[in-house]
Structure 1
Amino acid sequence: MISKAESMTTLPETLAEKALRREAPTRTEAMAVLGGAEELLDVVAAGARVRRHFFGHRVKLNTIINMKSGLCPEDCSYCSQRLGSRTEILKYSWIPPEEAAEHADRAVRAGVKRVCLVASGRGPGDRDITRIENAIAAVKGAHPQVEICACLGLLTDGQAERLAAAGAHAYSHNLNTGEERYAGICSTHTFTDRVDTVRRAGAAGLSPCSGAIFGMGESDADIVDLAVALRELDPDSVPVNFLIPFDGTPLGNRWELTPERCLRILAVFRFFFPDVEVRLAGGREIHLRSLQPLALHLANSIFLGDYLTSEGQPGADDLRMIADAGFVVEGADEQTLPAARHDLVAIRRRGAGSDKPANA
């Protein structure tokens, strides 16, 4: 029998309680949030409760260094670097390690904790891995404590291991959209290819980073499908991008997102990933607009500065926004993920080869 107190519990409250237990929403629950069945501020407040429980008032800062821009052979419809793009972006080959280190130095001095080294292309060749190894060495030579995340496309055998050995902390490779929709967004590689790369990165000891892009015509059901697929990969960080509709790309005319829609998507992802770094990423400025500070109550991580081929708002404005909203920048010595995600692997000290009995 349901008690009176239980019968009065709202859906946002239920989702917050489940998330605190690290339980995912049901499809029906997530669809109700996305569909507007619950008041927006109630949804944000519930998500904020979860965010506060696992991450306090800290905001982790990340920055992107675009190591090689444009001239990509892939045809991802959302991307200004795609094959056939007519977007007038900067196009250049690999920048030298010293230049990457200079950009990283400015970002770290502004409070950035993770530097993302990104390069366009289907995936890296051996020479490209060497270039990233050299860039990692240059960045860490000045800032040994900084986290390095590589984002180089699809990985092949041994490449993730090389990146880990060079000092990379994480590898980023977004699923971007659901499996059912993927062929309509990109024809030159598959959803399965992307899943495989995320798994390769994790198997090599790199922290897996994988997220999504919204605003590409996906339905509420598509959003939930993608959240479920990402949760199965168990990433440590989940970037949430909102489509930047570049002129000269197939999706250049899509301007369907509203600030409310973005906040509801962020809330659903916080409920699906309660103790994971949910990163507010590309497109936040143009779609959330004046509601960006409210999004900080759901996401615990943002990019500072510019994106791959578009400019973000000035870093000083971001830092002011964080402070004005009552948050603080996460320091380099602070742990991002809650302790429960760091003690899941125990090195064997008993059984064969030891003087202690096996746990059987």
Structure 2
Amino acid sequence: MTISELTAKIIKEDYRITRDNLDKELLLTADLEEMLDCAGKLQKHFCGNLVDFCSIINGRSGRCSEDCKYCAQAACNHTGIDEYGFLPKDKIFAAAKANQDAGVNRFAIVTAGRALKGKDFDKAIEAYKEMNAKLKIQLCASMGFIDAEQFRRLKEAGVTSYHHNIETSRRNFPNICTTHTFEDKIRTIRIAQKEGMCVCSGGIIGMGETWDDRIDMALTLAELGIESIPLNALMPIKGTPLQDTPEISAEDVARTVAIFRFINPTANIRLGAGRGILPKSGETVIGRGASASITGNMLTTAGAATIDSDMQMLKRLGLTNNPEEAQPGSRN
């Protein structure tokens, strides 16, 4: 089977790549430009011309108890990051409104730590209630290993999506983190789904994993029914165990985007950190596999593109992030 034949099969026959029928060789050896063009056909069919932009605010920074090797916010990694408690509600609201006014589709509070609990979680709920009452931007959250009751409170406050990356493959996960497990991640995702949340879950490539690990991550996310899949390329941070990791190539990032589109044809494949590795900050894969992106500043590193430049990019590509202007795909 050629990559073009596989594309037609997915579109016309509702065929899906699984562990049982996986042709890894095809995904890894197909001509990259042809593969991206085919990924674009899948995206157009399932997602139309709609591209989803999200932005985040780091609601609580540093002093995290977990030992993720890539992370600037882990207390065990000495990165010199700014550390602060949960931000004031007015600062969060102002950031959300600014992003809404700039045309961003959704906004998330992201917090460092194993789980946001107690008074800090209460503060987050109050911030979400105010945003939900006064703004139209979609609301998301990323607060670690929270429980079912917390998910219910978030939903009641207006949050519709929860971000919780699996980071890498099940096999590779212990090489990246030892203070929690891959199963802990899966368990939290399933609780979020049970409580009616749209789950946003993906991971980071370029951490020394193999192509088998990347494909396994894509298959796991498909099996979980994940609707939004952020793909980050590692940006090595001084003071972390991965600080000397060689930068992944643009070609490998692009092929990973395409592979994830083939394995998860109906999902939003979302560009995250490391967009700057790609030509024109990802413009070469937006519409050719990637149907979403984080925009603006991202957590502890500056984003590769501004909101304004992203909006201009969409115009050049004939795409839109406005659902009212979109030509929806079959997923919609």
Same fold flag (TM > 0.5): yes
The answer as to 2:67 corresponding to 1:75 is: yes
Decide which structure has the larger Cα Rg and report it: 1
The answer as to 2:285 corresponding to 1:295 is: yes
Asked if structure 2 preserves the Cα contact closer than 8 Å seen for 1:213 and 1:240, the reply is: yes
Which one of 97, 104, 107 corresponds to residue 89 of structure 2? 97
Give the Cα–Cα distance (whole angstroms) in 2 for the partners of residues 277 and 249 of structure 1.
30
Aligned residues: 328
1:124 equivalent in structure 2: 116
Asked if structure 2 preserves the Cα contact closer than 8 Å seen for 1:65 and 1:100, the reply is: yes
Q: CA RMSD in A?
A: 2.0
Amino acid at match of 1:32: E
The answer as to 2:202 corresponding to 1:202 is: no
Deviation at 1:25, TM superposition (A): 2.6
Asked if structure 1 preserves the Cα contact closer than 8 Å seen for 2:44 and 2:329, the reply is: no
- In the TM superposition, 1:1-360 aligns within 5 A as 11-20=2-11, 21-25=13-17, 31-35=24-28, 37-143=29-135, 145-285=136-276, 287-290=277-280, 292-296=282-286, 297-312=288-303, 313-331=305-323
Q: Which runs of 5+ in 2 are unaligned?
A: none
Give the Cα–Cα distance (whole angstroms) in 2 for the partners of residues 95 and 16 of structure 1.
46
Asked if structure 2 preserves the Cα contact closer than 8 Å seen for 1:322 and 1:328, the reply is: yes
Deviation at 1:321, TM superposition (A): 2.1
Amino acid at match of 1:283: G
Percent identity, aligned pairs only, is 32
Asked if structure 2 preserves the Cα contact closer than 8 Å seen for 1:22 and 1:274, the reply is: no
> Where do 4+ consecutive residues of structure 1 move more than 6 Å?
334-337
TM-score (norm 2): 0.93
What does the per-residue CA deviation read over 1:181-200, in whole Å, with 9 as the maximum and x for residues that have no partner? 11110010000000000001
Look up the SS of the partner of 1:180 in the other structure: coil
TM-score (norm 1): 0.86
Asked if structure 1 preserves the Cα contact closer than 8 Å seen for 2:18 and 2:219, the reply is: no
Amino acid at match of 1:260: E
Give the Cα–Cα distance (whole angstroms) in 1 for the partners of residues 257 and 4 of structure 2.
16
Amino acid at match of 1:59: V
Deviation at 1:275, TM superposition (A): 1.1
Asked if structure 2 preserves the Cα contact closer than 8 Å seen for 1:33 and 1:268, the reply is: no
Give the Cα–Cα distance (whole angstroms) in 2 for the partners of residues 337 and 259 of structure 1.
29
Residues 42 and 338 of structure 1, relative CA distance in 2, 3 Å threshold = closer
Asked if structure 2 preserves the Cα contact closer than 8 Å seen for 1:70 and 1:89, the reply is: yes
Give the Cα–Cα distance (whole angstroms) in 2 for the partners of residues 25 and 107 of structure 1.
37
Look up the SS of the partner of 1:81 in the other structure: coil
Give the Cα–Cα distance (whole angstroms) in 2 for the partners of residues 338 and 203 of structure 1.
26
Look up the SS of the partner of 1:61 in the other structure: strand
Q: Which runs of 5+ in 1 are unaligned?
A: 1-9, 342-360
